[in-house]
Amino acid sequence: SQQGEEDPQALSIQEGENATMNCSYKTSINNLQWYRQNSGRGLVHLILIRSNEREKHSGRLRVTLDTSKKSSSLLITASRAADTASYFCATDKGTGGSEKLVFGKGMKLTVNP
Amino acid sequence: ETGVTQSPTHLIKTRGQQVTLRCSSQSGHNTVSWYQQALGQGPQFIFQYYREEENGRGNFPPRFSGLQFPNYSSELNVNALELDDSALYLCASSSSVLRGEKLFFGSGTQLSVL
């Protein structure tokens, strides 16, 4: 089952613009992670935010988490053509159970040069 | 590059056959997770191995089975292949089973079942 749902499902922007992706989830979580996937290859970890954190930065990435709304956003500033990829949020439910990280369906970002 | 290697990169099988996919985890990692990713979807958790024992399983039938070896490399076996098993199979390693561990993914094995 997929807990996260990214929004929008696809985004096309010009190089230099900012890109914002949103993720909503259904159950309580221990932490939320964002991953990037280029052309159907392996996923690369971008950033992790814990349930007791509200905002986190890493280079051009900014992640926010609102546990009351069960949502997170990923902002990529000053986008580059190399940022073109699919982005996934993944939640760790933190309440036991056999499922580990649960991924959303992903959002395809296209950055036009 | 993550240091997680998967083989083969591509595989074509026919319905009813069996397949074995292999994964070498990143150095120092003792936990391996397997995911199935259908076209246009996010990865779906199959199972996780920690120190050669299964440590959690997703909603996949018993014909999906796995192994982890003393060097922490892993295999995913799928019996009685079905057309819907066509997908990208991803292996991910991590340094522990603790919550909050980030996953290091291999490049995947693209399986086509005809």
Query: pLDDT-based confidence at B100, cuts 50/70/90?
Result: low
Distance CA A24, CA A7 (A): 8
Answer yes or no: is pLDDT of B65 > 60. yes
pLDDT category of residue A87 using cuts at 50, 70 and 90:
very high
The pair of structure tokens assigned to A56 is 């986190």
Please enumerate in sequence order all residues whose Cβ is within 8 A of that of B103, keeping only pairs 6 or more positions apart, or say none. Answer: A35, A43, A45, A101, B33, B92, B93, B94
Note the residue count of chain A. 113
Cα A51 to Cα A76, A96, A98, A101, B100, distances in angstroms: 21, 15, 20, 14, 10
Q: What is the pLDDT of residue B99?
A: 64
Residue ranges of B 23-82 with Cβ closer than 8 A to chain A: 33, 35, 37, 40-45, 48, 56-59
Instruction: Measure A71 CA to nearest chain B CA, in Å.
Output: 18
d(CA B84, CA B67): 23
**Which residues in chain A have their CB less than 8 angstroms from residue B45's CB?**
99-102
Tell me the average pLDDT across B92-103.
Answer: 79
Of residues B64 and A95, more confidence is placed in: B64
- pLDDT tier at B96, thresholds 50, 70, 90: confident
Specify the pLDDT at position A97: 46
User: How far is the CA of B107 from the CAs of A28, A36, A49, A104, B10, in angstroms?
Assistant: 30, 12, 25, 19, 11
Confidence at residue A101, expressed as pLDDT on a 0 to 100 scale:
85
For residue B11 the two structure tokens come to: 């595989």
CB contact under 8 A, A2 and B41: yes
Which comes out higher in pLDDT, residue A31 or A8?
A31
Calculate ∠ Cα B51-B37-A24, nearest 5°.
Answer: 95
Q: CA-nearest residue of chain A to B89? A: A42
Q: What is the pLDDT of residues A21-71, one digit of tens each?
A: 999 998 888 889 999 999 868 899 999 999 999 999 999 999 999 999 999
Q: B52: which residues sit within 8 A by CB, 6+ positions away?
A: B67, B68, B69, B70
* Dihedral pair phi/psi, residue B21, rounded to 5°: -110, 145
Determine the pLDDT at residue B37.
96
